[in-house]
Amino acid sequence: MKQIPGGVCAAKGFSAGGIHCGIRPNKTKKDLALIVSDVPCTAAGVFTTNLVKGAPVTLCQEHLKQGKIKAVICNSGIANTCNADGMEKAVQMAEICAEAVGAQPGEILVASTGVIGQKLPIEPIQAGIPELLKSLRATAEGSDDAEAAIMTTDTVPKSAAVSFTLQGKTCSLGGIAKGSGMIHPNMATMLVFLTTDAAVSSEMLQKALSMDVRHTFNMTSVDGDTSTNDTCVILSSGLAGNPEITEENEDFAVFMQALNTVTVSLCRQIAGDGEGATKLLECRVCGAETEDTAKKLAKSVICSSLVKAAMFGEDANWGRVLCALGYAGVPADVNKIDVTFASEKGEVMVCEMGSGVDFSEEKAAEVLSAKEIDILVTLRDGDASAVAWGCDLTYDYVKINGDYRT
């Protein structure tokens, strides 16, 4: 497994681009992205479980049932959610894109992100298509332009890619993501677009993606709010030339490792770029009775507003960690829990067997001054473990969301 550049263009057969078409008033911000495959792709997706769904989510779910996918078009600035004409606009986006790339509307996936409840104008998208097609490149730069066009409150782009081998054939898998606020998925993610040239059937792509998000995007939280437009899709061009993966075998295991390497990287990038965030938090729980217990405990810690605020203040207030573990709603012997804070600046144990231990506040403050902090929780109930990602809670989170629309 090797890290490579390229994002969604790392895999053979894919090109991408992004432009400003006029949906967003700021002309320096790209707002329309396109990812196109040279050939029809097998595809899979996982979406928000919020009962309030953006029209593009419903359209994508329908199109994935129909078969192969040729392209993904995405706008930022307006979510196309809670609008009477939402489905009409989503369908129009698919039709416009299909005509532009020489495909059928059912071969197009559509995504939107931005303000909920505002009507999406279709005219800028229609007018921007010629420029969007000219922006397409099968390079890292093309992927970067597409990434820029899907960002909203994100402050940094998010991409990752790896190469790996299946039966002597070199394969690639890469992706881009956006997500900074309203991040608390449940069997879904933010906006994540993944591409691979490994030949994988639609059924196995869906199995791989559904299995992976349980341990990656479902374990990522910024603010506890699940978006209405969460979309994660993966497209396979099959151009690497490996025998198609149609069952759970050794090749499938290698593919899962590649997928997980990319998605974990994207999770960390999303959590680290949480709205107003200054620190990436990673909570590792080990020694739990079951994996489900470990996952709920880890996520309870990184979702705690009090833990997040303490990390922002670089305050080793470990009691807040135990508090979060205690209300997670799963069985755990709280009298057998150890807690350690760690970072590149060292580590400090703050709790042993459910009780506080003497530690240097100065050393703890130094450990917590780093940009990435690990909260290590050890139980003595079993052998299961889990990891969750989050960020600190800062004054800027309120500032950003206090006037998000205006």
Buried b (16+ CB within 10 A) or exposed e, 110-126: bbbbbebebebebebbe
Nearest alpha-carbon partner for 305 in 327, 329, 285: 327
Dihedral, CA of residue 14, residue 163, residue 160 and residue 205, to nearest 10: 70
The answer to whether 268 touches 280, Cβ cutoff 8 Å, is yes
Q: Could you give the CA distance from residue 56 to residue 331 in angstroms, rounded to a whole number? A: 39
Per-residue CA distances from 390 to 221, 223, 247, 303, 399 (Å): 5, 9, 34, 7, 19
The strand pair at 355-356 and 346-352 is best described as antiparallel
Amino acid identity of residue 318, one-letter, is W
Residue whose pair of structure tokens reads 């992100």 in the numeric block? 113
Catalytic residue among 42, 113, 189, 226: 189
Angle between helices 319-326 and 291-303 (to 10 degrees): 130
Q: Could you give the CA distance from residue 200 to residue 180 in angstroms, rounded to a whole number? A: 31
What HEC string does 4-17 produce?
CCCHHHCCCCEEEE
The answer to whether 279 touches 373, Cβ cutoff 8 Å, is yes
Q: Could you give the CA distance from residue 70 to residue 138 in angstroms, rounded to a whole number? A: 15
The answer to whether 59 touches 87, Cβ cutoff 8 Å, is yes
Q: Is 49 a catalytic residue?
A: no
Active site residues: 189
